[in-house]
């Protein structure tokens, strides 16, 4: 069975499809987890036109995809890539909580829900920036 899978994954089209499929499913799961930890409903706020939530959510999506980019480039198997991207996601979540902790003057989620574009932009840039730092260390 493993030999058959190895033969299939030796085809670059099938290998690309495998990485793509795993990354998309993981992206959906990771975004859903982020949705659980925020104090607002991302998709409901985006539907209302809340640009700050869109920027913060977009930054998280970009950050997660960037982690997959690095993990795919630096690992041989789909499973290894998923493990490293998952580990990177945990670190990205930690950065989210650290960002919340380091801003005691206001609550990040409340400001984003109020469509404070400055906070939404900063949240987006932090997610993207941290994903590059994490991605650079993926082995």
Q: Chunked in runs of 10, what are the mean pLDDT values of the chain (139 residues)?
A: 71 90 96 93 96 97 96 89 94 93 90 96 96 90
Instruction: State the Cα–Cα distance between residues 115 and 45, nearest whole angstrom.
Output: 9
Q: Which residue from 42, 137, 128 is spatially nearest to 85, judged by alpha carbons?
A: 137
Are the C-beta atoms of 46 and 54 separated by less than 8 Å? yes
Q: What is the pLDDT of residue 139?
A: 64
**Residue 139 gets which letter from DSSP?**
-
Q: What is the pLDDT of residue 30?
A: 96
């Amino acid at each position: 069975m493993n030999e058959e899978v190895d033969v299939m994954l030796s085809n670059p089209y099938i290998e690309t499809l495998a990485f793509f499929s795993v990354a998309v499913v993981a992206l959906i799961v990771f975004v859903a987890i982020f949705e659980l930890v925020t104090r607002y409903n991302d998709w409901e706020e985006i539907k209302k036109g809340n640009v700050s939530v869109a920027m913060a959510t977009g930054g998280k999506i970009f950050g997660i995809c960037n982690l997959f980019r690095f993990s795919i480039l630096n690992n041989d198997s789909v499973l290894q890539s998923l493990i490293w991207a998952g580990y990177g996601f945990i670190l990205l979540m930690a950065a989210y909580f650290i960002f919340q902790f380091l801003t005691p003057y206001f609550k990040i989620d409340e400001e984003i829900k109020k469509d404070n574009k400055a906070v939404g932009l900063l949240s987006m840039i932090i997610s993207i920036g941290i994903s590059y730092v994490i991605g650079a260390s993926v082995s």
